[in-house]
Amino acid sequence: MAGLEDLYREIILDHYRSPRNRGELPSPPAHRSEGFNPLCGDEVVVHLLVEDGAVADIKIGGQGCSISQSSASLMSAAVKGKPVTQARALIRSFKAMMSIHEASLGNDGDGEGGEAGGTDEDDAAGGTVSIEDMGELAALQGVVKFPVRIKCATLPWNTLAQGLNEAEAGEQA
Amino acid sequence: MAGLEDLYREIILDHYRSPRNRGELPSPPAHRSEGFNPLCGDEVVVHLLVEDGAVADIKIGGQGCSISQSSASLMSAAVKGKPVTQARALIRSFKAMMSIHEASLGNDGDGEGGEAGGTDEDDAAGGTVSIEDMGELAALQGVVKFPVRIKCATLPWNTLAQGLNEAEAGEQA
Amino acid sequence: MATMTDPLDPIVVAKDFPLLNRRDRERPLVYLDSAASSQHPSAVLDAMDRYYETTHANVHRGVYALAEEATTQFEAARTNVGRFVNAPRPATEIIFTKNATEAINLVAQSWGRRFMKAGDAILLTIMEHHANLVPWQMLAAEKGLELRYLDVDDSGYLDLSNLDRLMNGTKLVGITLTSNVLGTIVDQDRGLPAIIEAARSAGAVVLADGSQYVPHSPTDVRALGCDFLAFTGHKMLGPTGIGVLWGREDRLDAMPPFLGGGEMISDVRLDGFTPTELPWKFEAGTPPIAEAIGLSAAVDYLRGIGMERVRAHERELCAYAIRTLGARYGGDLRIFGPTDPDARSGVLSLALDDVHPHDVAQVLDEAGVCVRAGHHCAKPLMRRLGVAATARASVYVYNTEADIDALADALEAAASLFARH
Amino acid sequence: MATMTDPLDPIVVAKDFPLLNRRDRERPLVYLDSAASSQHPSAVLDAMDRYYETTHANVHRGVYALAEEATTQFEAARTNVGRFVNAPRPATEIIFTKNATEAINLVAQSWGRRFMKAGDAILLTIMEHHANLVPWQMLAAEKGLELRYLDVDDSGYLDLSNLDRLMNGTKLVGITLTSNVLGTIVDQDRGLPAIIEAARSAGAVVLADGSQYVPHSPTDVRALGCDFLAFTGHKMLGPTGIGVLWGREDRLDAMPPFLGGGEMISDVRLDGFTPTELPWKFEAGTPPIAEAIGLSAAVDYLRGIGMERVRAHERELCAYAIRTLGARYGGDLRIFGPTDPDARSGVLSLALDDVHPHDVAQVLDEAGVCVRAGHHCAKPLMRRLGVAATARASVYVYNTEADIDALADALEAAASLFARH
Ligand SMILES: Cc1ncc(COP(=O)(O)O)c(C=O)c1O
Ligand SMILES: Cc1ncc(COP(=O)(O)O)c(C=O)c1O
Ligand code: FES
Ligand code: FES
């Protein structure tokens, strides 16, 4: 039986109470993408400035539960200033960390990737990051013990993945 | 627990094996009416010659189970030559004998009268005949112990009621 | 000995509910989610087991004794459920469906398709459950109908000030007798007569969604005055897999069939079919036989308590909850819907300052307190209330004041965990 | 110890079925009506009771542990049932309905309304159950479609000689995998591939009615090659109140919703709604939760026996019955359908000279032998066979040769009672 302390780690509560990188970025040049959790109606908005293959800046909007909002805050701190390839590796790793439990829910054909446009191709190639190397993000690991909350944690990451795809497509065009 | 001997009395089997008044009557002057049991698809056809307010002749067609066919045969014997008022009284009495059990089936609002056009108004007025005075017809009394077969027994009677209504309406027209 | 005039004793009642009495839990269960689905007394489970273990066979058309007995029990269940809502013709006016949602879809697709035409309006309320919104939206899109809504005021009551204007051109009114979010009751004593009367003048039929009403109040379709009433088994101590549509016989008679298949026909040819009579005309395929028998047992159980007492008990608990939570939290806790316990059911939608409803429910669960968090299938109402979700506690016959106290304590834990310092 | 290669021992199996083991009956029960509805092993009833007594809560969207566990069990039931028919994507391709009839109506109303237009043809067979006739007749009447039928020959096999002509202009084929009257099997080894291939060339989709097939044979939707498969819980040891539609994911994805309400939406506004993903898009309202869990237990039970063994057992019983009844009655007893036990299921429709099927069933009941009399919801086939009704005996995992002997004896009683001297 998982206890609340597995879910609401101090780091999570801290990022919930004092979210990092909250706000907006002027668009253009920044890219704005929205993610939406259909189960609860919560949303995360990611403002993304991609420059020279790196996440030059990121700001988070939207509203939702402590898990989705802290996950967004932690995510923004983790990817800010990082090369896009590294951000993508983090997305993959984070979603892998969160998907352990999904399978046992019987949702074989239906990962949580669909809602916010995070596509399976994201997962297919490229490097990943081990949990030990994920730093503060590892605090969200306990979420897998609460399957209904997994979509809360992955919501910002799916939104980021979608934003990166769209931003890079825009850069190339 | 009702036994088969309650249902398949010797008189019933006799009328089933050797049905009385089987056949057709030329129409006109006779009147032809069809009854249909939607539960099983069986039918009874009643050919009716009404003259001077009496059932001058009656013939039975159609096909069905032993109960419907013997009931039709017994009915034809009982009403042939009788005044229409007396035939109607018999119909009422017979249906009353058969309806004892229906109520306990929970079909309050749905007597078995509907299918073959026997209407509730038939039951509302006029005399009845006591079971003791019903002669051979009383052999069908055991059917009430087998609720699914009640519609078999009443099928010819509803068809007769419909035929009498139509024949009399035709006479008046 | 307790009599029907004594108040209901929930501690005694709860003993009948196996799920509430399990001793193998880490902590006692405080079940406050009966508005989503209620629990089951042994009498209901036993009735279904007994049916399966002694009597099961497919109903209708069976000659052998087992099938005949199954049919008798199934049809007796229908009549019993019909009597529970005082249906004038319980044997023909009660249609068994799979849930309340199907019951409403049945009316939308059968009555709506036959009797509505482009430009006609459907009048709903902004506090309807999706079950009483989406079927009409689908019909409206298909046939070019107009959708109109009665609003709620800030106290959670229906706003009837525009009733006559909204009723002009309306052919069907769909209205919940109790909001599953606000608890607002709309029945023969509260607001419904004006709606029924306006509908009658406009020639509109009225479908009442009784999903949150029939389980909690004495229900009398004749007093309500509606044309259709939909409700659902699993919210009234009955099994899943069964719902009920009551309809006035003349309305149902005039309607074409809904689903096609066995049971609902009197004849089938290669080129077409002839439907059979009520109620079977609307029950295509093998019906939920065991579920009907279970629901009938639930109705017997509720009747044994007495629906007046059920209502009085929930009214008291609701008043107690409003008092207790108000005293402890004041402005930090918002309780949606009417504050007058006479005007509301035992459904309490809550918003705790700065704490998301899903986090509230999560922390409450840790204390064994089960409440539902979310939009409660009432998204338009959520938008109207300006929230994405609420945490909702709801009571039933087995809930006690102690359950409300546990709720209040657990809310405190949630508030302190998430408070932004 | 018995292994999976030993033949099934029905006497051992029957011990698991409470209804078949009751000692309070006047006479032993010989249940030969499983084609109408089967009986239930304790494992199925226990699974439902356990669910109600430990886990019940409404599924989806619940944050608390009880609701989460209910959701997990419900979705696991879906996957388990999907695997039973070898669905490629069991978690998304299995839709729970209330019965097979609703499953077929779903396809008719959702796929049919969206993808068929006036003048298109629907190809059915004359041996379909009303469940696979009436929904198409309703659709045809609504949209001006043409209904076509494959005939059966005098031995009870489908007549495929006109297949290509009939397929020309056909957009949908509806076909039963096993006739509930004749027992005729149409599957990947018998007749189906030709139909599937012709349908593919014509661009038609194929709906298979597996109501009488899935309970009795190993089922593999990939091998069958159909687009949709409908079946029903209560004929495969499961509870009433649940049916299943399997559909190819791309087909289901392309289809609009069927019923509207909670669970099937991702958003609802005042002016309309957005449906959610598979499988929930087609499951409006509270689903049959306990029933899904019961059906999953039934599937486990059948898998425990092994479907190959189930089929072999029924094949042997059917061969025995044909032999025994043929030897005892010769020409006085007509057995409809194929005489080759490899080509037919354990459904035996009988006509005894000069005795009406309802009287046969009545006399058999007196001997404790339960058979169904009537048109078996297949009126067009009855007309084709030139009878109004048949008496139908059907076997399942718990039936023995002794049951067939009891049937034969009781038929003798019927024959002698009614014989016209
Ligand atoms: C071949 C066939 N299809 C469909 C059905 C309908 O099943 P249900 O009544 O459970 O919907 C039946 C059972 O009666 C059947 O035998
Ligand atoms: C007011 C209201 N209407 C309809 C429903 C739908 O009931 P069901 O899901 O059983 O169809 C519910 C329950 O969720 C409800 O609260
Ligand atoms: S509850 Fe909505 S994102 Fe967590
Ligand atoms: S069984 Fe058809 S009338 Fe008796």
Q: pLDDT tier at D420 (50, 70, 90 boundaries)?
A: low
Question: Which of C59, C79, C95, C281 to probe the B interface (max B CBs under 10 A)?
Answer: C79
Tell me the pLDDT tens digit for each residue of D346-382: 999 999 998 999 999 999 999 999 999 999 999 999 9
- Residue extents of the structural domains in chain C: 10-40+307-419, 46-303
Q: What is the pLDDT of residue A38?
A: 79
Question: D358: helix, coil or strand?
Answer: helix
Cβ of residue B59 closer than 8 Å to a chain D Cβ: no
Is the pLDDT at B64 greater than 60? The verdict is yes
Residue to substitute from D66, D83, D92, D249, interface A, most A β-carbons within 10 A: D92
| Lowest mean pLDDT, pick from B36-40, B106-110, C229-233 | B106-110
List chain C residues with CB under 8 Å of B64.
none
3-class DSSP state of A8: coil
C71 Cα: distance to centroid of ligand 2 (angstroms): 28
Query: How close is the Cα of C133 to the center of ligand 2, in Å?
Result: 11
pLDDT of residue B2: 65
Quote the pTM value. 0.94
Report yes or no: B120 at the C interface, CB cutoff 8 Å.
Answer: no
CA dist B127 and D343 (Å) reads: 60
Q: Which fold has domain D10-40+307-419?
A: Aspartate Aminotransferase, domain 1 (3.90.1150)
Condensed to tens digits (0 to 9), the pLDDT of residues C204-253 reads 999 999 999 999 999 999 999 999 999 999 999 999 999 999 999 999 99
C-beta atoms of D91 and A114 within 8 A: no
What DSSP letter does each residue of A64-128 carry, written as one string? --HHHHHHHHHHHHHHTT-BHHHHHHHHHHHHHHHHHHHGGGT-TT--TTTTTT--HHHHHSS--
Phi/psi at A57 (nearest 5 deg)? -155, 155
At C421 the pLDDT is: 54
Give me the pLDDT at residue A103, please. 43
* Closest residue to C76, CB basis, from B106, B109, B146: B106
Report chain D's terminal Cα–Cα distance, integer Å: 54
Mean pLDDT of chain D: 96
Q: Give how far A18 is from chain C: nearest CA, Å.
A: 8
Q: What is the domain range of residue B84?
A: 4-172
Query: Lowest mean pLDDT: which of B102-106, C384-388, D42-46, D185-189?
Result: B102-106
Query: Residue C310 is encoded by which pair of tokens?
Result: 């059920």
DSSP C55: I
**From CA D403, how far away is CA D317, in angstroms rounded?**
10
Let me know if chains A and B touch, i.e. at least 3 Cβ pairs under 8 angstroms.
Answer: no
Is A106 in contact with D93 (Cβ distance < 8 A)?
no
Report the pLDDT averaged over residues B13-33. Answer: 95
* Residue A100, pLDDT above cutoff 90: no
Q: Is B67 in the pocket of ligand 4 (CB under 6 A)?
A: yes
Residue D206 has pLDDT above 80, yes or no: yes
The answer, for A64 touching chain C at a CB cutoff of 8 Å, is: yes
pLDDT value of residue B126 = 66
State the average pLDDT over residues D14-35.
Answer: 93
- The residue of chain D nearest to residue C257, with distances taken between CA atoms, is D138
Closest chain A residue to the Cα of C361, Cα to Cα:
A65
Q: B152 CB under 6 A from ligand 4?
A: yes
- Centre of ligand 1 from the C-alpha of residue D132, in Å: 8
CB of B7 within 6 A of ligand 4: the answer is: no
β-strand C170-176 against C121-125: which pairing, if any? Answer: parallel
Write the Ramachandran bin of C407: left for phi over 0, alpha for psi from -120 to 50, otherwise beta.
Answer: alpha
Do the chains contact at C356 and A41, CB–CB below 8 Å?
A: no
More confident call, C229 vs A167: C229
Comparing C-alpha atoms, which of C409, C35, A106, C286 is closest to residue D104?
C286
| Dihedrals phi, psi of C35, to nearest 5 degrees | -70, -25
When CB atoms are compared, the residue of D26, D374, D421 closest to B17 is D421
Amino acid identity at C157: Y
Cβ neighbours of D366 in B, within 8 Å: 3-4
* Touch A-C: 3+ C-beta pairs under 8 A: yes
The pLDDT assigned to D330 comes to: 84
**Ligand 4 touching residue B116 (CB < 6 A):** no
- Give tens-digit pLDDT for D216-268: 999 999 999 999 999 999 999 999 999 999 999 999 999 999 999 999 998 99
Which residue has the CA at smallest separation from atom 3 of ligand 3? A152
Q: What are phi and psi of C85, to 5 degrees?
A: -105, 15
d(CA C10, CA C346): 14
Q: Does any ligand 3 atom lie closer than 6 A to the CB of residue A72? A: no
For ligand 2, whether the C-beta of C209 sits within 6 Å is yes
CB-CB contact of C30 with C228 (8 Å): no
How many domains in chain A? 1
Distance CA(D299)–CA(D310), nearest Å, equals 13
Percent of chain D with pLDDT over 70: 99
pLDDT over 70 (residue D29): yes
If one residue of A36, A60, A63, A68 were mutated to test the ligand 3 pocket, choosing by the most ligand atoms within 8 A of its CB, it would be: A68
Interface confidence, given as ipTM, is: 0.92
Q: CB of A53 within 8 Å of any CB in chain D?
A: no
- Residues of chain C contacting residue D270, judged by C-beta atoms under 8 Å apart: 126, 147, 149, 380
Q: What is the C-alpha separation between D182 and D348, in angstroms, rounded?
A: 7
Residue of D22, D267, D285 with shortest CB distance to C379: D267
pLDDT of residue C135: 98
| A108 vs B21, higher pLDDT | B21
Closest C-alpha among D313, D250, D265 to residue D111 = D250
Instruction: Check pLDDT > 60 for residue D48.
Output: yes
Please determine, for residue B102, whether its predicted confidence score (pLDDT) is greater than 50: no
SS3 A18: coil
Confidence (pLDDT) at B108: 38
What is d(CA C267, CA C260) in angstroms, rounded to the nearest whole number?
A: 12
pLDDT tier, B38 (very low <50, low <70, confident <90, very high otherwise): confident
Q: State the average pLDDT over residues D83-94.
A: 98
> Lowest-pLDDT range, B37-46, D192-201, D293-302, D402-411?
B37-46
According to DSSP, the residues that pair with C393 across neighbouring strands are C348
Question: How far, in Å, CA of C383 to CA of C402, rounded?
Answer: 33
Looking at the domain covering D46-303, what would its CATH class be?
alpha beta
- Point out which residues pair with C251 in neighbouring strands: none
Quickly list DSSP for D98-120: SSHHHHHHHIIIIIIHHH--TT-
**Smallest Cα–Cα separation from D166: which of D190, D187, D185, D150?**
D150
At B113, the pLDDT band (50, 70, 90 cuts) reads very low
**What is the model's pLDDT at position C273?**
96
What is the band of A3 on the pLDDT scale with cuts at 50, 70, 90?
confident
Contact D372, D321 (CB under 8 A): no
> Residue D102, class by beta-carbon neighbours within 10 Å (0-12 exposed, 13-18 middle, 19+ buried)?
buried
B112 in contact with ligand 4, CB cutoff 6 A? no
User: Are D261 and C135 within 8 A, CB to CB?
Assistant: yes
Q: Which residue of C has its CA nearest to B151?
A: C61
Q: Which residues of D touch B5 (CB under 8 A)?
A: none
Quick one: tokens of C51? Answer: 């049916």
φ/ψ of D415, rounded to 5, equals -60, -40
Q: For residue D214, what pLDDT is reported?
A: 98
List residues of D whose CB lies inside 8 A of any B CB. Answer: 26, 356-359, 362-363, 366, 373-375, 379, 382, 388-389, 417-418, 420-421
Spans of chain C, pLDDT less than 70: 1-4, 420-421
Q: What is the pLDDT of residue B122?
A: 44
Q: How far is the CA of D264 from the centre of ligand 2 (A)?
A: 13
Q: Which chains touch A (3 or more CB pairs under 8 A)?
A: C, D
Following DSSP, what letter does each residue of C334-390 receive, concatenated?
EE-S-S-GGGB-SEEEEEETTB-HHHHHHHHHHTTEE-EEE-TT-HHHHHHHT-S-E
Instruction: Give the residue, by CA position, lying nearest to ligand 1 atom 14.
Output: D36
Question: Could you give phi then psi for residue A94, rounded to 5 degrees?
Answer: -65, -45
Q: Where are the alpha helices (DSSP H) in D259-356?
A: 289-305, 307-329
Sequence-separated (6 or more) residues with CB below 8 Å from residue C172: C111, C112, C116, C120, C122, C123, C136, C204, C205, C206, C207
Which pLDDT value is given to residue D27? 84
Confidence of residue D331 (pLDDT cuts 50, 70, 90): confident
Ligand 1 centroid – CA C122 distance (Å): 36
Tell me what the mean pLDDT of segment D9-25 comes to: 94
DSSP string, D172-212: EEEEESB-TTT-BB-BTTBBHHHHHHHHHHHT-EEEEE-TT
What CATH number has the domain bearing residue A22? 3.90.1010.10
CA D316 to chain centre: 21
Residue B73 pLDDT greater than 60, yes or no: yes
Chain C adjacent subunits, 3+ CB pairs under 8 A? A, B, D
D182 Cα to the center of ligand 1, angstroms: 14
